[in-house]
Structure 1
Amino acid sequence: MSTKFYGKNIFKEKIDTFKPKSKKKDKYRSREELILYNRDRLFEKIDTPKNFSLITNPTETINFINQLEDRYLQEKEVFVNMKHVEYMDYSAVTMLLSVVFSFKERNIKFNGNFPNKLEYKKKLIDSGFFDCLKTKIDKTLEYKIGKENQIFTRANKEVNSELGLPVMIETSETVFGEKRTLKGLQRVLLELMHNTNNHAVLNRKGEKHWWLSVNHDKENKKVSFIFLDYGIGIFESLKNKPEEGKWEKLKSYISSLVNKDDNSTLLKLLLEGEIHMTVTGKPYRGKGLPGIRQAMQRNDISELKIVSNDVFSNVSNNIYTKLNNEFSGTFVSWEINSNNNNLQWIL
């Protein structure tokens, strides 16, 4: 049986309708009360955190995302209540985009409302968030959402070696006012795309999208990046490595750690290249996650932060924190500003 969602459907989701029989008690309710009553009957309402950010409020934001993932697995229709958001950044916007695509890909209805604060309402609109809600979603390999040189999000299932060039051109024009070569940016993008496959469950590589959101702040001449991989995360992927060869050495090394159950220590060692040395017996040569940290140390990128499983790390400030809950995947954010390395354009 089809049902009706009463009230303004701000997500523009097409919903089949019917007119329910009136009840005596309904005539004593105001129009606004009836709208809320019927909305809540049809969708399960989930409130976003007031501080909606994986960077500044990881625990509550991860809990919110995990609630959505649980409803997705149960194929339940969801109404996201954003009315009371007091702060929201692009980490939240990117995660919402990815969640909406997942729901729509399985034809599960997903709806919600705007934040009361105009600043965050505008941020959602500018991101192309509502445009994607009107887009037919299938199992396409690649999606592009938003406006280039403003807020632009790409989703793909494979390594796209050609992506770095257009992103570098757009970034350098925003930050430096002209085309400049940003070697570190291209290297970081490639390493993250490769890591998406490396951190996938065995025999399931290429099944899930990675998400790249590029946010241009022309007034302050900086560009911020968010890379989101809904795989199983760094530490869970290490557990799935085969019990042989170099991976056997890795697992023995992890078992020898004093705080072996504290993944924050493990992430620090991983980024610093210590684990690579243990597994291979050779110095780190610039690939993988340690290469991203090295790009930061060379001043190719700034403000590097990573969230994976139960760890939040502000890599730029050498802070690694164990969380009370787990994020199913890996989140990486960084920015490029006028103080970062750049070279004359030579292409």
Structure 2
Amino acid sequence: MKRKIRKQFKRKNKKCDREHAFAPPRDIYHKNKVLHKIDMPEKMIFPEDIKTLNSTLEELDCYRNKRHSHRISIDHRKMTVIDNASILLMTVGINSIFHGKKLIRNGKVSPPKLIDQRLAAIGYWDALCINPQKETIEEGQKYLKIDYRDGESIDNEFHYPIIDFFTGKDQILEKNKDELFDAIFEAMANSSEHAFVNFDGDKKIWFMGAYNEEEREIEFIFYDTGIGIFKSLETGRSKFVQNLYRLSRRIGRANTLRTLCRSNLSRYKDKNNNRGFGMIAFKNFIDTIKRDSSKDASLEVATDEFLYLTKNDSIIRLKSKIQGTFIRWSIKDLNVGV
């Protein structure tokens, strides 16, 4: 009996000490950690709710730094209204806070069904979780899922799936393939060559797209979390960039952003043919679309605390700064319902 008891005792202890991928040793301090719940805002619409969005990310980052004594739960249950831009900004922010480490999705703190399905379709759960929500087809909506490219090594074929998605949607942009290519290529190239100069953070270039079949409306969003347009002017080495920086100090940041978005500066490039700030390609794409009387198009470019809109050629001062550079194109077919 003694031998049997000893044998059982040894087996039990041996089993407890065994390392296994599916049953890792328990964290003896897990129960002692404080569970901190972070509520996702009820409403997030860009740009009016950028301050709320940034506050949520700051709170999450604060408790992520205390992970040795805190467990974090990101509660989505109160979410009722969120637009595509806010979804992308929140995805990028959470991904950056956890340095690309995937999280675990808990169905108990998921948002209402319609929001949950939309987040799945748009690629929010895929980008952040190891156990994403199964995608369900959202009627009337199609998405170019949230994705990113390494800002330091962009492949030469990155633009093909993007262009195929937009030109294949009921032929809305079939006639404007070249202008679409120029705008996308310029956005990616600008970020790759200027956004991450002397930058130690996350060097990713994010994008996503959406097509509303019922409204026949297309939206494409492009975002990098680099140093931003104004900082890139300060760090530019060419005479052309230095002159732009001096100009920005004279006319102010708001007017500088407007100038960069609506002016063709390519003729001012220096002898080394340094690329950059070819942001006129963004607006040229919109202007080309608007020449067709059956379509409406708009562009938004945000960096630091400013947002430029082609509508009324206006500048909005954001309630909270945005890191890096944000670009959104929106195209709508005006013949819907006619």
> Scaled by the length of structure 2, what TM-score is found?
0.70
Q: Name the SS of the counterpart of 1:328 in structure 2.
A: strand
Aligned to 1:48: 40
Q: Name the SS of the counterpart of 1:304 in structure 2.
A: strand
Aligned to 1:307: 302
2:260–2:277 CA contact under 8 A, matched in 1: no
Aligned to 1:293: 283
Alpha-carbon distance, 1:248 to partner: 3.2
Aligned to 1:175: 170
Alpha-carbon distance, 1:40 to partner: 9.2
Q: Separation in 2 of the partners of 1:77 and 1:288?
A: 45
Aligned residues: 293
Q: Separation in 1 of the partners of 2:87 and 2:325?
A: 16
Alpha-carbon distance, 1:299 to partner: 1.9
Alpha-carbon distance, 1:269 to partner: 1.8
Aligned to 1:152: 145
Aligned to 1:239: 234
Gaps of 5+ in 2: 1-22, 291-295
- Which amino acid in structure 2 is aligned with residue 311 of structure 1? F
Change in CA separation of 1:330 and 1:303 when aligned onto 2, cut-off 3 Å = same
1:59 corresponds to which of 51, 74, 89: 51
- Which amino acid in structure 1 is aligned with residue 184 of structure 2? L
2:144–2:162 CA contact under 8 A, matched in 1: no
Change in CA separation of 1:127 and 1:326 when aligned onto 2, cut-off 3 Å = same
Change in CA separation of 1:254 and 1:20 when aligned onto 2, cut-off 3 Å = closer
Q: Separation in 2 of the partners of 1:268 and 1:71?
A: 38
Q: Separation in 2 of the partners of 1:221 and 1:305?
A: 19
Q: Which moved more, 1:329-338 or 1:225-234?
A: 329-338
Higher radius of gyration, 1 or 2? 2
Gaps of 5+ in 1: 1-13, 22-37, 137-144, 341-347
Change in CA separation of 1:276 and 1:206 when aligned onto 2, cut-off 3 Å = farther
Q: Separation in 1 of the partners of 2:206 and 2:100?
A: 18
- Which amino acid in structure 1 is aligned with residue 248 of structure 2? I
Q: Which moved more, 1:120-129 or 1:70-79?
A: 70-79
Aligned to 2:85: 91
Q: Separation in 2 of the partners of 1:41 and 1:128?
A: 30
Deviations 1:172-191 (A, max 9, x none): 22232896552221111111
Change in CA separation of 1:267 and 1:219 when aligned onto 2, cut-off 3 Å = same
Change in CA separation of 1:318 and 1:66 when aligned onto 2, cut-off 3 Å = farther
Q: Name the SS of the counterpart of 2:315 in structure 1.
A: strand
1:151–1:213 CA contact under 8 A, matched in 2: yes
- Which amino acid in structure 1 is aligned with residue 221 of structure 2? I
Deviations 1:9-58 (A, max 9, x none): xxxxx99866999xxxxxxxxxxxxxxxx89923x433333321223423
Alpha-carbon distance, 1:317 to partner: 3.2
Aligned to 2:213: 218
Q: Separation in 2 of the partners of 1:70 and 1:102?
A: 13
Identity %: 18
- Which amino acid in structure 2 is aligned with residue 54 of structure 1? F
Alpha-carbon distance, 1:97 to partner: 2.7
Q: Which moved more, 1:290-299 or 1:199-208?
A: 199-208
Q: Separation in 2 of the partners of 1:146 and 1:331?
A: 28
Q: Separation in 1 of the partners of 2:124 and 2:88?
A: 9
Change in CA separation of 1:204 and 1:170 when aligned onto 2, cut-off 3 Å = same
1:251 corresponds to which of 233, 236, 245: 245
2:160 corresponds to which of 137, 160, 165: 165
Change in CA separation of 1:73 and 1:329 when aligned onto 2, cut-off 3 Å = farther
